[in-house]
Structure 1
Amino acid sequence: MAHEPDHHTETTGTRARQGRQGFPILLVLVIGLVLAMGAWALAEMYGVWIAPDDPVAEAEHTID
């Protein structure tokens, strides 16, 4: 086991934090949200594009 030094260092709560907060983190979150909404919109448009024009007639046609 390694021997640790016998000195004690005082650290404030702000300095001891492991992550940073502020504008860069907010920017990443906002960009991620915008990208997720864009992917959702593309999926919705694709769903409308591949949907049959008349779903009732389409269902009746497959039963026969």
Structure 2
Amino acid sequence: MMIKIIPEDKARQGYWGRRFLTILIAALLLAFVAWGGAEIYGRMIDHTPPGQGQSPDG
């Protein structure tokens, strides 16, 4: 069995380019949109009157 020698520049799996950065930024923006939607929904379903939250003593 003969070992195949591959040059370093050909042995890479891929590179970090513009496509990777675009996907990363899009995923981050979608996460912020989902988080914002959850925050808004949480405030809409909260029916506790202001000042009527749980006290620290239990």
TM-score in terms of structure 2 length: 0.72
Q: Secondary structure, in 3 states, of the residue corresponding to 1:52?
A: coil
The answer as to 2:1 corresponding to 1:24 is: no
* Distance (whole Å) between structure 2 residues aligned to residue 34 and residue 51 of structure 1: 26
Which amino acid in structure 1 is aligned with residue 7 of structure 2? T
Deviation at 1:16, TM superposition (A): 1.1
1:30-61: CA deviation from partner (whole Å, max 9, x where unpaired): 000000000000000000100115051x87xx
Unaligned runs of 5+ residues in structure 1 are 60-64
Over the residues paired in the alignment, what is the CA RMSD in angstroms? 2.2
Which aligned runs of 4 or more in structure 1 are off by greater than 4 angstroms?
none
Amino-acid identity (%): 34
Q: Which residue of 2 aligns with 1:62?
A: none
Q: Secondary structure, in 3 states, of the residue corresponding to 2:21?
A: helix
Query: 1:1-64 to 2 correspondence within 5 Å?
Result: 4=1, 6=2, 8-12=4-8, 14-54=9-49, 56=52
Q: Going by fraction, where is helix more abundant, 1 or 2?
A: 1
Q: Structure 1 residues 48 and 7, CA, compared in 2 at 3 Å: closer, same or farther?
A: closer
Larger Rg: 1
